Structure 1
Amino acid sequence: MGTKWSAAPWGVGLALVGVMASAAAPAVAHGQASHQLAKRIVLTNPDTGRSVPASTGDDIEVRLTHYSERGLNYSWDIPQSSDPAVLRRTSGGSTPAGDATVTFRGEKVGTVTLSAARRCRPDPGRICPLATSPWRVTVTVN
């Protein structure tokens, strides 16, 4: 007597996979756009002068790193938003070495400037130049 195979278990299995796949997909009504997921935008030292688009709910992380050369140590102020109602600071601070890391969240539509200044701290016997170097990025939140 030979072995009989039935296709019934395969059909049931495929039907369950179809149900599970459709349950995992978000439901979107006809003519209604799905919501965009918030993203994280990371900005660093070389990004100065850029213009960056963002959306409400996005996180904008600014990571400015210090550096040293010829006995001069360059450190960063903590970056600031020109309009905290548009880009609100959610966390951040600086390290003793002079790094600064801040995260902002897009709260409402608008255009702001994120800014910080790089300052010099000399080693003993060294003299810093009098100039400070600004860091600025324009963020447009839609």
Structure 2
Amino acid sequence: MKTATRLTASLALRMALAATTAAVPGDATAAPHPHQIRAARSVTLTNADDGRTVTVARGDTVTVKLTGIRDQGVRWAWSEPAATAPGVLRRSRGGTSPDGGASAVFRAVGRGTSDVTAYRRCVAAPGHVCPRIVIRWRAAVVVK
């Protein structure tokens, strides 16, 4: 008789636990802590992002990678990207490459807006002529 009572009690406990587990949604997650730390993210801008506006948070990284162009004896080379507001977007490194490309890495350090600009100019190979134009590339970065 004791064995039957134990089995019945054990079965009743298992059924109660199963019912409780089924009542709790599987997608339940804890609410974010108000002081939760967000991981810094990275945004990459390229030639195609000319005129674009991006929004980042303080601590985020903005990388600019511009590709030079070779065409019929001329090379279109980029200047090193620069920020118009270093108090908002601080450049940590940057440079140009022999193929006409340019890159820079910026860190969002303060709230506000900064444009990132670079200029593409023509470099002629011997015996070729360049048009006398300079093309500006610009992206706006809003730091919240």
Q: TM-score range by the shorter chain?
A: 0.7 to 0.9
Post-superposition Cα deviations, 1:18-56, rounded to whole Å, max 9, x if no partner, equal: xxxxxxxxxx99862412211010000110000111110
Structure 1 residue identity aligned to 2:71: E
Deviates more, 1:44-53 or 1:95-104: 95-104
Q: Aligned pairs, how many?
A: 115
Corresponding position of 1:109 = 111
Q: What TM-score does the superposition give when structure 1 sets the normalisation length?
A: 0.76
What is the CA distance between 1:124 and its match in structure 2? 1.2
The one of 93, 96, 100 aligned to 2:95 = 93
- Asked if residue 60 in structure 1 is aligned to residue 62 in structure 2, the reply is yes
How has the CA–CA distance of structure 1 residues 123 and 37 changed in structure 2, closer, same or farther, with 3 Å as cutoff? same
How has the CA–CA distance of structure 1 residues 30 and 122 changed in structure 2, closer, same or farther, with 3 Å as cutoff? closer
Q: What TM-score does the superposition give when structure 2 sets the normalisation length?
A: 0.75
How has the CA–CA distance of structure 1 residues 48 and 29 changed in structure 2, closer, same or farther, with 3 Å as cutoff? closer
What is the CA distance between 1:112 and its match in structure 2? 0.6
Corresponding position of 1:35 = 37
Deviates more, 1:87-96 or 1:105-114: 87-96
Which consecutive aligned stretches of 4+ in structure 1 deviate over 2 angstroms post-superposition? 28-31
The SS at the match of 1:116 is: strand
Residue ranges of structure 1 left out of the alignment (5+ in a row): 1-27
Q: Percent identity?
A: 37
Corresponding position of 1:50 = 52
Post-superposition Cα deviations, 1:65-110, rounded to whole Å, max 9, x if no partner, equal: 1110111100100000001110000111111222111000000100
How has the CA–CA distance of structure 1 residues 72 and 108 changed in structure 2, closer, same or farther, with 3 Å as cutoff? same
The SS at the match of 1:46 is: helix
CA RMSD of aligned residues (A): 1.7
